[in-house]
Amino acid sequence: MDKKRVLLIAAGALALPLIAMPALAQGAVADQWKWLTFLVFGAIIAVTMYVTFVAAKRVKTAADFYAAGGGVSGLQNGWAIAGDYLSAASFLGIAGLISLYGYDGFMYSVGWLVAYITVLLVIAEPCRNIGKYTLSDILAYRNDPKKARIVGAISTITVSTFYLTAQMVGAGVLIKTLIGIDYEVSVMTVGVLMLAYVLFGGMVATTWVQIIKAILLVAASILMVIMVWSQYGFFGDFLTNVVGDAKVQARVATLIGDKATNLSATQLGQIFLEPGLFLKVPLDQISLGMALVFGTAGMPHILMRFFTVPTAQAARTSVNWAMAIIGGFYVLTLFLGMGAAMKVGAPAIAGIDPGGNMANPLLAQALGGGPDSLGGNLFMAFVSAVAFATIVAVVAGLVLAAASAMAHDLYVGVIRKEHVTPQEQVKAARIATIFVGAMAIVIGISAKGQNVAHLVALAFAVASSANFPCVLLTLFWKRCNTGGIVLGMIVGTVAAIGLVMVSPNLTYPKAVKAAAQKVVDGAPARMAPITEALASGDAAKIAKAERDKAAVDKAVAAAKANLEKFKGDDTSIMGLEKPLFELRNPGLISIPLGFLAVILGSLLYRDKRSEDMWDELYVRQTTGILAAKATAH
């Protein structure tokens, strides 16, 4: 029965892009090579479907579904954590940022690794020692179970939905940019695949999909970096080549504008290795760093991974492996990004996608032999397929986290008060998975064209301001109680979301229109020298003037479109003319607020259960007494 279903879904998922084939638009992969990309995609889908099929036979209980029966080893879990964590934003986004902005892009990547120190030191082992399947299980251990489960589940669903929406929209845009499949078809393909993994294989399949994806990702990166090194040299020589590269120098000159006039070519190249090309607001950087360093430890789908290993020691081993893999990967991005800056060049990268997401696929194509070669296209197809597998694996982890909050915390814990049969538990988990998966597809499609980049930041902001203070203080502070975590969850979530809603992340029509008006008003002045050049009779000048004229026309058309779009509209969706809060990342304010709320709530509220259970929780989280038995089944 299950076999048949898995095969059907696999066939469906494979068929979706094929049906869309005739409707293919232009993507980064040229038309005559698309079959190659589909072949590699198909191979990856086939392997993961086989894994799901094998896993489906092993998923019988709720413990199997949510935590792979606690039977994942430290090494396996380390790879799965890396697979869960290294999203397309890391593989494509950070390499893209480095290729376009140099040092600042690399600096941005550091926080993603440092985040795991928090996980290693204060979260992984205590959570393994007292937890079961979800974030709420930790909160419910000593606090009022009903209230703890409700706030924990709401926050889990909130964080996962933000992250999920960003991933789904990203998937749609990415696959469209890569191979030109329609946005809706891309979102549905990702959704259906992810649903098949989680629905049939639960945490077992999700774990293996994440492991496979992480191995592919690391293998692709290492291969590309070796090719980059063989051409540009290792560390010192490589960086010397970066500084001396004409494409890099031209990019820096474009970025710094007038300031470039008195600088030599080498000086321009050197600026690529210095801070300041991308990150202009220091406080925003620090605020983002706080959200990463504390938010990762509060991510429900990351926490969940620690319930899949048998002991606290295995949890520790898994974080160590994850840090080695994730850290190694981010070091490689330096060479991938800067390699792409030299080999492909910023104009070509930003030409396909202004955010730089195509840097890695284009670099692969160039390294393999160029856009017209079999090698180049095979390599690009492989890297694109890895990016695709990346999205599916991350999405599967998120769906599992959200579904567990609904089924395990809300339905089984709160509504049925733990009075359920094992069969009912698994059934509830599967129904919740279908619900969350369908929701992800619907949200993904309806959010088409929306700017969702800030949603990842928002997910980290809520996780760091609400989940992290509640989990940390529940585990380590004697006075912490139900009042504290309820207030902390509410204040942390509201502060994080509220601050983002009044931040520069939103669109402010008045500012957009002012900028557009400036472009329209300035156009005649810009056109004057161009018209002059066109009339000059000099062929070279005319060619350049025609290009300039096209650029000005394009800018004016875009500005006019904006003026039309926001006609009669002066305020953001919050009714503001300009941002009330100047930072894009709210962590700097919302994290301290979250901690303060947990402390205040705990001090103002009395809860006998929280006090009585403290000795038990604290002894167990510190020593692991009874934890070993947790997996004996």
Partner 1 sequence: MSTAATPAAQAPRPPLNWKAIDEDPRFQTLHSKKVTFLTSLMVFSLIYYFLLPIGAAYFTDLFKIKVYGVVNVGILFALSQFIVAWGIAFYYTAKAKKFDAMAAELVRDADKIGR
Pair of tokens at residue 2: 């299950």
In terms of Cβ atoms closer than 10 Å to its own Cβ (0-12, 13-18, 19+), residue 590 is buried
Q: Please state at what angle helix 509-534 crosses helix 539-565, rounded to 10 degrees.
A: 160
* CB nearer partner 1, residue 177 or residue 318: 318
Residue 265 class from Cβ within 10 Å (0-12 exposed, 13-18 middle, 19+ buried)? Answer: middle
Report if residue 477 touches partner 1, rule: CB under 8 A.
Answer: no
How far apart CA 567 and CA 576 sit, in angstroms, is 16
Residue 417 to residues 101, 408, 476, 529, Cα–Cα distance (Å): 53, 10, 27, 76
**What type of residue sits at position 547?**
R
Q: Least separation, in Å, of the C-beta of 240 and partner 1?
A: 5
Query: Does the protein bind partner 1 through residue 409 (CB under 8 A)?
Result: no
Out of 185, 293, 402, 403, the residue judged to bind partner 1 by CB under 8 A: 293
Among 419, 567, 608, 629, binds partner 1 (CB under 8 A): 629
User: Which of 196, 218, 228, 243 lies at the binding interface for partner 1 (CB under 8 A)?
Assistant: 243
Q: Write down the least CB distance from residue 285 to partner 1, Å.
A: 4
CB closer to partner 1 out of 197 and 329? 329
Among 276, 347, 422, 449, binds partner 1 (CB under 8 A): 276
Q: Which is nearer to partner 1, 121 or 561 (CB)?
A: 121
Q: Which residue number, 133 or 388, has a Cβ lying nearer to partner 1?
A: 133
Residues 97-136 that bind partner 1 (CB under 8 A): 103-104, 106-107, 110-111, 113-114, 116-118, 120-122, 125, 130, 132
Give least dist CB 62 to partner 1, A.
10
Q: Are the C-beta atoms of 242 and 248 separated by less than 8 Å? A: yes
Q: Contact between 162 and partner 1 (CB under 8 A)?
A: no
Nearer to partner 1, 185 or 630 (CB): 630
* 382 token code pair: 């492989």
Q: Return the number of the residue (576 or 619) whose C-beta is nearest partner 1.
A: 619
Binding segment for partner 1 among 253-261, 275-283, 429-437, 554-562 (CB under 8 A)?
Answer: 275-283
Rounded (10°) CA dihedral 83, 87, 90, 92: 110
CB 141 within 8 A of CB 613: yes
Q: Which is nearer to partner 1, 310 or 444 (CB)?
A: 310
Quick check: 82 binds partner 1 (CB under 8 A)? no
The site string for partner 1 over 22-61 (x = CB under 8 A, - otherwise) reads: ----------------------------------------
Q: Does 265 contact partner 1 by CB under 8 A?
A: no
Q: Which is nearer to partner 1, 115 or 187 (CB)?
A: 115
Q: What is the SS3 string spanning 336-394?
A: HHHHHHHHCCHHHHHHHCCCCCCHHHHHHHHHHCCCCCHHHHHHHHHHHHHHHHHHHHH
The answer to whether 129 and 312 are in contact (CB under 8 A) is yes
CB of 119 to partner 1, least distance (A): 10
**Binding-site member from 61, 73, 240, 517 for partner 1 (CB under 8 A):** 240
Indicate whether 141 belongs to the interface with partner 1 (CB under 8 A): yes
What is the C-alpha to C-alpha distance for residues 573 and 400, in angstroms, rounded to an integer? 32
Q: Give 561: exposed, middle or buried? Use CB within 10 Å, 0-12, 13-18, 19+.
A: exposed
582 binds partner 1 per the rule CB under 8 A: no
Cα separation, 528 vs 549, whole angstroms: 10
Min CB(274)–partner 1 separation in Å: 5
DSSP-assigned states of every residue in 237-277: HHHHHHHH-HHHHHHHHHHHGGGGTT--HHHHHHHTTSS-S
Radius of gyration of the chain (CA): 26
Contacts of 401 (CB under 8 A, 6+ apart): 134, 156, 160, 300, 301, 304
Q: Which two tokens stand for residue 172?
A: 């749609």
- Supply the minimum distance, in Å, between the C-beta of residue 236 and partner 1: 5
Q: Which residues contact 15 (CB under 8 A, 6 or more apart)?
A: none
C-beta of 120: minimal distance to partner 1 in Å? 6
Binding string, residues 481-520; x marks residues near partner 1 by CB under 8 A: ----------------------------------------
267 binds partner 1 (CB under 8 A): no
CA distances to 138, 308, 417, 524 from 204, rounded to whole Å, are 22, 9, 27, 63
Burial of 14 per CB tally in 10 Å (0-12, 13-18, 19+)? middle
Nearer to partner 1, 36 or 100 (CB): 100
Cα separation, 415 vs 106, in Å, equals 47
Dihedral angle, C-alpha 293, 295, 296, 298, nearest 10 °: 130
Q: Closest separation between CB of residue 400 and partner 1, Å?
A: 19
Site string for partner 1, 303-342 (x = CB under 8 A): ----------x--x--xx--xx--x--xx-----------
Q: Which residues bind partner 1 (CB under 8 A)?
A: 63, 103-104, 106-107, 110-111, 113-114, 116-118, 120-122, 125, 130, 132, 137, 141, 235-236, 239-240, 242-243, 269-270, 273-276, 279, 282, 285-286, 289, 293, 313, 316, 319-320, 323-324, 327, 330-331, 418, 476, 615-616, 618-619, 622-626, 628-630, 632
